[in-house]
Every structure is written in structure tokens, then in C-alpha cells.
Amino acid sequence: MKPFDLTGRTAVVTGSSKGIGRSIAEHLAMAGAQVVITSRKEGPCQEVAAAIEANGGRAVSIPCHVGKRDDVERLIEETRRQLGPVDILVCNAAVNPYYGPLTDITDEAYHKTMDTNVLSPIWLCGLVKPDMVAQGGGSVIMVSSVGAIKASPNLGAYAISKAADVQLTRTLAAELGPHQIRVNCLLPGLVKTDFAKVLWDNPEAERTASLGYPLGRLGVADDIGPAALFLASDGSRWITGQTLIIDGGASIMSGRVTE
């Protein structure tokens, strides 16, 4: 057995035109999977797919707004048409439309956060389930956040949605386990992506944030991609319902690391 070989498998990675999602897609492709690159805008998706193909991988671009049920259904239908049944699903796309006290959030912002970050993965899992059942198994990976396990002032709704993704992982793992469908969850710490740029976009902010990390630095997208490859592969074939924290050790600290 080659535990990390994904040759012949089809993977859908949402939010994969940049950042963590792109790294995950690239690592799955390097392991042999044919990968669907998807986000809202077609141009960036095509660029990532073309880069993967230029490196010898197989990738297609299928734009999708994961907050819209019709778009999500079309994504999976088009994946089947172009590449075949889905073996690996990575629910990475997320939104955070509001920054501020939770008690001041509008209903619209709250529902947008929960629908995109929690309801959409439920849609996706329901849509790929028949493929995975028919094939005797599959792997689903939820990309959550360390915000799921600690208080996040001004990011309350986002943190709530990410905590929900952890419980969603456990629930789906229990429901889908009899079909040999594994469901696991990644909890990245602060990663230097555009999504989190407000938290690290100047040297002083990055230096201050890094003080809380025993490894002395913030994460980069390629710190996450290999972990997703592990959970997608047969190397983790007896792991399901679990959360893997990837945060440079920040979550083990009771306070900041001193210089």
C-alpha cells in the first residue's frame, strides 16, 4: 500500500483559488488526485487549475458560490460530468462579513456567516454521499479554525460557525462511518493569507501576534496543505471524527511566549 497516493481519485476543494484552499488542492494534486478548483470568481480558479496542470497534475476550474444551493448542486453535477464521482471533499470556503461585538451583529451578517460556513458543508456532504457510498468510502475534511476552541473577541459569529463545524465533523463521522466515509477537521491558527490579513499586515502586528506561538512564527498556507493530504489519504484510514490543530503550538499556551 502507498498510503499517500491519491492516483485515480477525484477531489473537490472549495475556496481553492488562493490561500489555504489552494495549498490543499496543490498537495492533493501532487499526490495524484484530479482536483476541482472552485471559488466565486472564474479567473482565479482558472489560473490555479492551469498552474497545477503545468506542474503535471490534473485540475479543472468550476466556479461556485457555496452560499447558494443551486450553485453547490451545479458544482457537484459538473464535477461528475468532467471528472467522475467524488472521492474527497474539502470544505474550506468560509466568510466573515462582520468584525465587532457579537451583540451588535445584524441578522443578515449572522445568517450569511452560518449559512456559508455551516449549512453549505451540510449541502455538499449530502450531495457527495451517494458517490462515496457507491464506491465503498471516501474522505471529507472540514477546515475550521482555532477560533472554534477559544474566545475570539470581535470574531464571535465566525468562531461560533467554526465551533459548529467541529461538531458537524463528529456528527457526520458517526452517521457516515458505516459506509467507510471518514470525516475529519483541521483547525488552523493564524495563517498569513488574505482572509486574515488585517491581523498580520504590518511588521509590528505580525511580530506581536507571533509572540503567542512557541515556534516563533505565524503559519503559511503550505503548513496546512500536507495535513489535508494526510487526512484525505489511506494513511489516515482509521481516523474519523477527529480535529487536528495546526497552530505552531499557540493553543497550548496559557499566556504569551516571552522574548
Residues identified as active-site: 158
Q: Which helix (H) or strand (E) holds 59?
A: strand 58-61
Half-sphere exposure of 16 (CA within 13 A, CB side): 33
Quick check: helix, strand or coil at residue 63?
A: coil
Pairing of strands 34-38, 58-61: parallel
Q: In angstroms, rounded to a whole number, what is the distance separating the alpha carbons of residues 52 and 243? A: 28
Order of strands, sheet of 138-143, starting from the edge strand that comes earlier in the sequence: 58-61, 34-38, 10-14, 88-91, 138-143, 181-188, 243-246
